[in-house]
């Protein structure tokens, strides 16, 4: 097998995968009678046209990056965290609680404290499924999903009750939201006229941090070993269950921080629907980014683009914004299938023999 063939094979598989994903998406789009080509064009290019829209894309990429980094740590350690949605909600609650309790603290104290509170709340919410998996073999897929629903209910309970804006109570308009959080919590918006905030740099720093953790420390090595082959890692003296729990705590803490950054930078008060699917998109971003920080950053930009673009299709071509969920679902299915095809040496060999056979036949014909 020649090297050129190998590269050609892999590239054509990836191109086929992209085509397959777009084809399934097109079927759904055709069902609702939309202009397929124009819809893809709007989703992919419309948000890049103005600075304001571009800043909105980056704004969505910030929580996506942070969540996907956490999910990649868990995934590499052999545990799939689909509870980022709930962990993010708990992070928002933790941050809000601290900001409501100590509004007078100066910014250099309050901001780190509130973000830390968010990380701890998210981390606790990640610890539960990690512990259940390690000690009681409870499937993390089911427990994290259930914790999402529980967190969502807890979130609305607090927003409607203990954390409800006193102004809402007197005005009685009934919107479940907290009061506007202290100015000392706010992240600066550095691009005039947009909502883009300094959380962007925070996300980049976290990406570096994860890179160092996973590839430059022994803890990261042990986590990756536990994920790659739990039995081999256990034989090598690594406490797989311990690293599983740690990975879930990190994963949850990152989702919690994403929530903290999101309300400190964008909403500045806890309202309903902040998490809005970020937890699930984070899974797609992590997979799409190859579970590596260097891949996750561009991947989160791409999915930020999809989210903003899908919002615009509603107005421009009449395609509901839910289309982004459809695309994300397809992308997951296609990525996991493609990964397996690429990792299958038998299949590559089969194709190679076929190609060689074809070559021989054409030679015989010309001879």
Per CB under 8 A, residues contacting other proteins are 28, 31-33, 80, 82, 132, 136-139, 141-143, 145-147, 149-150, 153-154, 156-157, 160-161, 280, 283-284, 287, 318-320, 322-333, 336-337, 339-341, 346
Scan for tokens 């990964």, then name that residue.
339
| Closer residue to other proteins, CB minimum distance, 112 or 162 | 162
| Closer residue to other proteins, CB minimum distance, 156 or 356 | 156
**E strands within 104-252?**
none
Minimal CA–CA distance to 162: which of 96, 255, 113?
96
Tell me the sheet residues that pair with 271: 177
Q: Nearest distance from residue 31's CB to other proteins, in Å?
A: 7
Q: Nearest distance from residue 23's CB to other proteins, in Å?
A: 13
Residues 6+ apart with CB under 8 A from 12: none
Q: Nearest distance from residue 329's CB to other proteins, in Å?
A: 3
Q: Check if the beta carbon of residue 91 is closer than 8 Å to that of residue 263.
A: no
* Burial group, residue 313, by CB count within 10 angstroms (0-12, 13-18, 19+): buried
| Closer residue to other proteins, CB minimum distance, 141 or 164 | 141
Q: Nearest distance from residue 343's CB to other proteins, in Å?
A: 10
Q: Nearest distance from residue 17's CB to other proteins, in Å?
A: 11
| Closer residue to other proteins, CB minimum distance, 295 or 329 | 329
Report residue 115 as tokens.
């973000």
Q: What phi-psi label fits residue 185: left (phi over 0), alpha (psi between -120 and 50 degrees) or beta?
A: alpha
Residue 143 CA to residue 254 CA, distance in Å, equals: 18
| Closer residue to other proteins, CB minimum distance, 31 or 170 | 31
């Amino acid at each position: 097998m020649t090297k050129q063939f190998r590269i050609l094979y892999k590239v054509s598989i990836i191109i086929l995968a992209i085509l397959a994903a777009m084809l399934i998406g097109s079927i759904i789009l055709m069902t609702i009678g939309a202009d397929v080509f124009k819809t893809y064009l709007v989703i992919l290019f419309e948000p890049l046209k103005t600075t304001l829209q571009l800043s909105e894309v980056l704004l969505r990429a910030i929580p996506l990056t942070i969540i996907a980094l956490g999910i990649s740590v868990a995934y590499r350690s052999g545990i799939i965290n689909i509870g980022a949605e709930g962990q993010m909600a708990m992070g928002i609650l933790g941050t809000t609680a601290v900001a409501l309790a100590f509004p007078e603290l100066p910014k250099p104290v309050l901001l780190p404290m509130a973000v830390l509170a968010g990380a701890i709340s998210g981390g606790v919410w990640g610890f539960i499924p990690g512990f259940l998996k390690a000690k009681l073999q409870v499937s993390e897929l089911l427990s994290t999903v259930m914790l999402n629903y529980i967190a969502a209910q807890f979130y609305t309970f607090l927003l409607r009750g203990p954390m409800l804006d006193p102004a809402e109570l007197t005005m009685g308009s009934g919107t479940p939201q907290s009061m506007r959080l202290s100015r000392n919590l706010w992240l600066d918006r550095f691009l005039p006229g947009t909502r883009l905030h300094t959380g962007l740099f925070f996300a980049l720093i976290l990406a570096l941090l994860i890179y160092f953790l996973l590839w430059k420390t022994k803890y990261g090595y042990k986590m990756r070993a536990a994920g790659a082959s739990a039995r081999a890692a256990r034989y090598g003296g690594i406490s797989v269950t311990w690293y599983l729990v740690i990975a879930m705590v990190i994963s949850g803490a990152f989702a919690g921080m994403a929530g903290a950054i999101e309300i400190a930078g964008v909403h500045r008060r806890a309202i309903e629907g902040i998490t809005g699917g970020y937890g699930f998109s984070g899974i797609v971003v992590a997979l799409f980014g190859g579970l590596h920080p260097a891949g996750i950053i561009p991947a989160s930009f791409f999915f930020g683009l999809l989210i903003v673009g899908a919002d615009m299709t509603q107005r421009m071509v009449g395609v509901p914004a839910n289309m982004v969920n459809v695309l994300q679902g397809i992308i997951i299915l296609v990525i996991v299938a493609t990964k397996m095809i690429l990792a299958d040496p038998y299949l590559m060999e089969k194709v190679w023999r076929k190609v060689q056979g074809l070559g021989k036949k054409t030679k015989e014909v010309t001879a």
